[in-house]
Amino acid sequence: MEIEARLLDVTQRIEAVAEKAGRKAGSVSLVAVSKTFDGDAIQPVIDCGQRTFGENRVQEAQGKWPALKEKTAGIELHLIGPLQSNKAADAVALFDVIETVDREKIAKALAEEVKKQGRALRFYVQVNTGLEPQKAGIDPRETVAFVAMCRDELALNVEGLMCIPPADENPGPHFALLAKLAGECGLEKLSMGMSGDFETAVEFGATSVRVGSAIFGTR
Ligand SMILES: *Cc1c(COP(=O)(O)O)cnc(C)c1O
């Protein structure tokens, strides 16, 4: 399948499962994850009308997105990988949405940069739903207090929660937990679901799915 056909297939599968789950048409947005792919691979996806993309490394994104953005208006870039505070300034300058806020130090660094640069970013708090020691994300039990701190003390524009379930587990319970926590936080956005499980995520209420290999091919 060509990249255009794969993109169409993914968007049709999202719409089909959303409709079946009684969700409104257009209520799930697609973040096309373009990490490891260069501008030549990404441009055809932009040409198909896709405008929202996800990258997991600040430096890699800096290398390819300024040129792509210059050619097409309305690109929205999401950072979906872990962020070090020494990269906060670069991340705030390039990205529109940062999905991986997961500790106080990075939240503070981001808040400072948003103020300094005067950019209006949106943020997600990443939750480590599987309590995996090697994985980023806040402990589910600390999520409500952490989100409150980010919003009330740091004035970060937190709009939702994000998770990456353990690779070897049924993702459903993790998606359900993220949805429950978002409710407790008063947040409406849920970033969950990747190539292997985005249909399940939509059933559990995902408002955006992050799909890479199903569109761009294997990395
Ligand atoms: C790479 C990545 C994805 C996309 O994964 P695929 O399996 O290629 O769809 C989604 N979310 C995060 C955080 C990622 O790092």
How far, in Å, is the centroid of ligand 1 from the Cα of 33?
6
Query: Which pair of tokens denotes residue 141?
Result: 């039990």
Give DSSP secondary structure letters for 18-74: HHHTTPPTT-SEEEEE-TT--HHHHHHHHHTT--EEEES-HHHHHHHHHHHHHHSTT
How far, in Å, is the centroid of ligand 1 from the Cα of 214?
10
| Coil, helix or strand at residue 117 | helix
Query: Which pair of tokens denotes residue 123?
Result: 């943020």
Amino acid at 143: T
pLDDT beyond 80 at 1 = no
Tell me which H or E stretch contains 97.
strand 97-101
How far, in Å, is the centroid of ligand 1 from the Cα of 68?
21
For 195, which DSSP code? T
pLDDT of 213 reads 98
How far is 45 from 3, CA to CA, in rounded Å? 7
Q: To 5 degrees, how large is the angle CA 153–CA 91–CA 31?
A: 100
Tell me the whole-structure pTM to 2 decimals: 0.97
pLDDT of 25 reads 87
Q: What mean pLDDT value characterizes the chain?
A: 97
The protein residue whose alpha carbon is closest to atom 6 in ligand 1 is 212
Contact criterion met (CB below 8 Å) for 193 and 14 = no
Handedness of CA 10, 16, 19, 21 (dihedral sign): negative
How far, in Å, is the centroid of ligand 1 from the Cα of 191?
11
pLDDT beyond 90 at 135 = yes
Contact criterion met (CB below 8 Å) for 151 and 125 = no
Question: pLDDT-derived band of residue 53, with 50, 70 and 90 as boundaries?
Answer: very high
What is the CATH code of the structural domain delimited by 3-17+27-216? 3.20.20.10
How are beta strands 158-163 and 52-55 bridged, if at all? unpaired
Query: Which pair of tokens denotes residue 173?
Result: 């319970």
What tens digit of pLDDT does each residue of 144-172 get? 999 999 999 999 999 999 999 999 999 99
Q: Which residues line ligand 1 (CB under 6 A)?
A: 33, 35, 56, 80-81, 164, 194-196, 210-214
What tens digit of pLDDT does each residue of 93-114 get? 999 999 999 999 999 999 999 9
Please identify, by atom number, the ligand 1 atom nearest to the C-alpha of residue 213: 8
Q: Give 133: exposed, middle or buried? Use CB within 10 Å, 0-12, 13-18, 19+.
A: exposed
Q: State residue 205 phi and psi, 5-degree precision.
A: 105, 15
The protein residue whose alpha carbon is closest to atom 13 in ligand 1 is 80
Please list, in sequence order, all residues whose beta carbon lies within 8 angstroms of the beta carbon of residue 113, skipping any fewer than 6 positions away: 88, 89, 91, 92, 93
